[in-house]
Structure formats: structure tokens, C-alpha cells
Amino acid sequence: METIKIRDDFIKLGQAIKLAGLVDSGVEAKIEIQAEQVKVNGSVEFQRGKKIYPGDVIEFDGQQVKVEN
């Protein structure tokens, strides 16, 4: 499982999957999230503005990324 580090208290889901390199652009992030292809802590998430906190795990396309600060 890979990790990404954030400086603030949270990061929005769309920004997080872009930072993790799971998608190439914000537009692609929006499309994948709205298509319900992204999970947060095991549950499908469809809000790209969902706040992601340290300790949360994002899953997309068979990859998992843990958020840390």
C-alpha cells in the first residue's frame, strides 16, 4: 500500500487521487469518482469534494493509498 502525505488537516478526494498519481488530471478524477470507481475506507464514494483525513484509505483501479500527515 502506498502513502501520500498532506500538510493540512484534510484533502479533498479529487485532489488526493491526483496527488497519489492514480489519475492524470482533475477532470479524470471527477469522471472516475462520479462513475463510482473510487472507494474510501472500503465504501464507494461519489463526491469529489469529500474530505479525506489522515488514516483514510483510498482505493482505485486495484490500488490502495493511505493518507498520512
CB 4 within 8 A of CB 67: yes
CB 18 within 8 A of CB 30: no
Prediction pTM value: 0.92
Is residue 34 very low, low, confident or very high in pLDDT (cuts 50, 70, 90)?
very high
What number is the average pLDDT over the span 26-48?
Answer: 96
What pLDDT score was predicted for residue 2? 93
CB 55 within 8 A of CB 67: yes
User: Into how many domains does the chain fold?
Assistant: 1
Which residue segment(s) compose the domain that 48 sits in? 2-68
What pLDDT score was predicted for residue 18? 96
What pLDDT score was predicted for residue 27? 95
Q: Which amino acid appears at position 51 of this protein?
A: K
Cell (9 digits) for 46: 461519489
What number is the average pLDDT over the span 23-36?
Answer: 95
Is residue 49 very low, low, confident or very high in pLDDT (cuts 50, 70, 90)?
very high
